[in-house]
A and B are shown apart, each in its own frame.
Chain A
Amino acid sequence: MTGGCATLRDRGAQPATRARPATGRAAHRQVEGRSLFLLLMALLLVGAMAIGLCVGASGMSTADVLLALVRDTGRTHDIVWMLRLPRILMAALVGFGLGLAGSVFQVVLRNPLASPFTLGVGSAAGFGAVTVIIFFSPGHHLIGVAVGAFVFSLLSAAVMIAVARMKQASSETMILTGIALMFLFSALTSLFQYMGTMQQVHEIVFWFFGSLSRAGWREVGLAAAMILSPFPPLLRAAWDFNILIHGDESAASLGVHPKRLRMWAVAAASLITAGAICFTGVIGFVGLVAPHITRMIIGSDHRFLMPGSGLMGGLILVVADTVARTAWSPQVIPIGIVSSFIGVPFFAFLLLKRTREYW
C-alpha cells in the first residue's frame, strides 16, 4: 500500500520549510497566465476600439479623428463624438454583457448550450419589440421599442425563475422552461409578423438583424448601468460558481446555497441581457460563443472566466462592427450577421484544435 496511508502519516511531521512542491508552482503559473490573458484581452479590446474609431464611411484620416477627439472641428467632431464613439462603446458594452451573461447562464444551468438566446430571454425581447412596433405604430419611438424589449425579456426570466422555484430550482427544469419560452415567443412574433403590414414587417425584420446605429449617448449610459451594475456581485460569487460546476449536492456541502445562487444569478444575467439587447436587437451568437472560446483558452475558474468572456464578447462585437461598417461601405451590414460570420469560424477553429473534451 504505497498510496494512501503511508504518506498520509508523514504529513504532520513534515516541516513547512521544504521546497514548494511542483503542483503549487504549476497552479501558481496558471493563475498568472490567466491574469495575463485578461490584461491582453483588455488591451486588444481598447486597440480594436481605437481602430474602429479611426475607420468608417466618411474617409477621415487618423489625424482628423484624433484632432476631432480633442477639439471642436465641426463636421468631423460630430461624426466622431455623436456617431462613432457611442456606437463603438455600445458594441463593447453589449458584447461584454452578452459574453458575461452567457458564462453565468452556462455555469448556473450547468449546460454548455445555455445562452441568453437559447433560453428565451432573447426571443422574449424580440417579441416585446415587435409588440411595440405593431401596436404603437406609427407613433412609436426607438425608446418605446427598447422598453418593450426590456420588459419582456425580464418577464420571461421571471417566468423561468418562478417555474424553477415551484419545481426545486433544478438546472434541467430551468433549461426546459427557457426553451419552451423561446418557442412560445418565437411563435407569437411570427403571428404578429403574419398580421402586420409590409412597413411593420420590414421594421421587425430590421430589429431582428441587430443594429448598433440606434445608439446615442443616452442609450450607452442606460445600457452601461444595466450591464455593469450586476457585474460586481456576480464576480464576488465566482468561487460559488466554481463549486457549483460539480453539482448541487457537493456545492451545498461546501457552504453554498445552490438554489438561491441559481435564482439570483439567472435574474442578474437576464438583467444584463435585457440591457444589452433592448437598444440593439438580436445579436445572439456572442453570448453562446464568447464564454466557450474563453473557457477553451483559460479554463473554468470563474474569477477569470467571467471578465474574460465579457472582454472576449466585447472584442468580437467591436471587430464585427468595424467590419460591418467598412466591408461594404457605405452600406452597413447588420451587426448580428457579421458577428456570426466572424465568431463561427473562430469558434470552429478552436473546437477542432482543442485538447480538452468536456461535453
Chain B
Amino acid sequence: MLEARGIIFAYKGHKVLDAVHADVERGEVVSVVGPNGAGKSTLIKCIAAIHKPQEGAVRIDGKDPLVLSRREVAKQLAYLPQSLLCRFPVSVFETVLSGRRPYFSWRPSRKDVEKVEQIIEALALSPLATRDMDQLSGGQRQKVLLARVLVQDTSYLLLDEPNAGLDLRHQLEILETVAALAREKETGVLMALHDLNLAARFSHRILMIHRGRIIAEGTPFEVITGERIREVYGVEAQVTRSNGHLNVHVLRCAGEDPQTPAHGL
C-alpha cells in the first residue's frame, strides 16, 4: 500500500495542504479531484518526494522513501508530471528508455531495451520511435510520457493531470491504458484529474480536495454529488446515473440568476 499520513505542506507561509491523508492499494485507481489551486498537484508531488512536506509521512509498502535511496524509490514509485520540458532534441525511443534509468548505470541491458520496445508497441507509438519529441502533437507526447512511466515498472504510479489539454480520444486512450495497468499488473494508481465524469468512470475511489483538505472520500457515487459540486466548485450541477455510469451535467455558476449573464456584461 502507498500511503500518505497527515501531510502538511506550506509554501511561503501559505498552507497548501493541511493534514491530508491518502492511500492507494495495489491494483486500485484513486483520483484526486478538486478546483484549481486546491492542492491536487502538491499532494502528488509530496508523495513523489519532489516536495518535502513540513509534517507528515509517506510510506511505500511500509517503507519510508526518505530512508531509501532515490533510485530505490524510483523502482517503486513512478511520477508523470503535468508537462515535460524539451529544450534539446531527444527521440521518442530515448525518452522512453530514460524511464529505465533506475535499473542501469551506463549501458541499458537487453531487457531494458526489450521492455521499451514492448511498451512502445503496446501504445502504438512504433511509427514515431525515432522522431524527436518536439515533432509530436500534445496527445502523442503525453502517450510517450506515459510509456516512460510504464517502463519504469513500478508498483505505484502517480499521475498529475495525465489528460490535460488532450482531445477526447487521447484522453480515453490514456485512462484506458492506466486502468488496464491497474487491472493486469496490479499497479496502484493515484492521479489528479479535472474531469469529474472521467474520474468517476475510471476510479475505484475518489478523494475530493478543497483548500488543502480532503473533504470527501469514497466511491465515485458517494463523493460526487450536486451538493458537493456546488460547495467546492461554486457550480450548479446535476448528477445522474445511467447504465451504471455517473454523469455530471454542469448547469451554471452557483448563486447567480440563470436569466442574466454573469457580471452584468
Contact = CB atoms under 8 A, between A and B. Distances in A.
Nearest to B121: A21
A107 B177 contact: no
Contact of A27 (B78, B81, B130, B132): B130
B84 A247 contact: yes
Contacts of B21: none
A358 B184 contact: no
Interface stretch (A5-13, A47-55, A187-195, A329-337): A5-13
A9 B101 contact: no
Interface in B59-99: 69-74, 77-79, 81, 84-91, 93-95, 97-99
A106 B87 CA distance: 10
Interface of B: 45, 48-50, 69-74, 77-79, 81, 84-91, 93-95, 97-99, 101-102, 104-106, 113-114, 116-124, 126, 129-130, 132, 134, 143, 152, 158, 169, 172-174, 176-177, 179-181, 184
A23 B120 contact: yes
B102 to A, nearest CB: 5
Nearest to A256: B70
B88 A26 contact: no
Contact of A11 (B45, B122, B176): B122
Contact of B106 (A26, A239, A357, A359): A239
A22 B126 contact: yes
Contacts, number: 170
B122 A21 contact: no
Q: Per DSSP, are chain B's interface residues mostly helix, strand or loop, or mixed?
A: helix
Counting chain A residues whose Cβ lies within 8 A of the other chain, the interface size class is 35 or more
A30 B132 CA distance: 13
Contacts of A358: 86-89, 132, 134
A6 B24 CA distance: 25
Contacts of B72: 255
B126 A110 contact: no
Nearest to B179: A5
A253 B117 contact: no
B79 A250 contact: yes
B135 to A, nearest CB: 8
Interface string A25-67: 0111010000000000000000000000000000000000000
Contacts of B123: 3-4, 7-8
A246 B177 contact: no
Given A4-B180, A9-B180, A245 B49 contact: no
Contact of A239 (B45, B84, B101, B180): B101
Given A3-B176, A11-B118, A110-B87, 19 more contacts: A3-B124, A3-B173, A4-B122, A4-B176, A8-B122, A24-B117, A112-B88, A238-B106, A250-B81, A250-B84, A253-B77, A254-B74, A257-B70, A299-B89, A299-B90, A300-B90, A301-B94, A358-B134, A359-B88
Given A112-B87, A112-B88, A245-B87, A4 B132 contact: no
Nearest to B175: A4
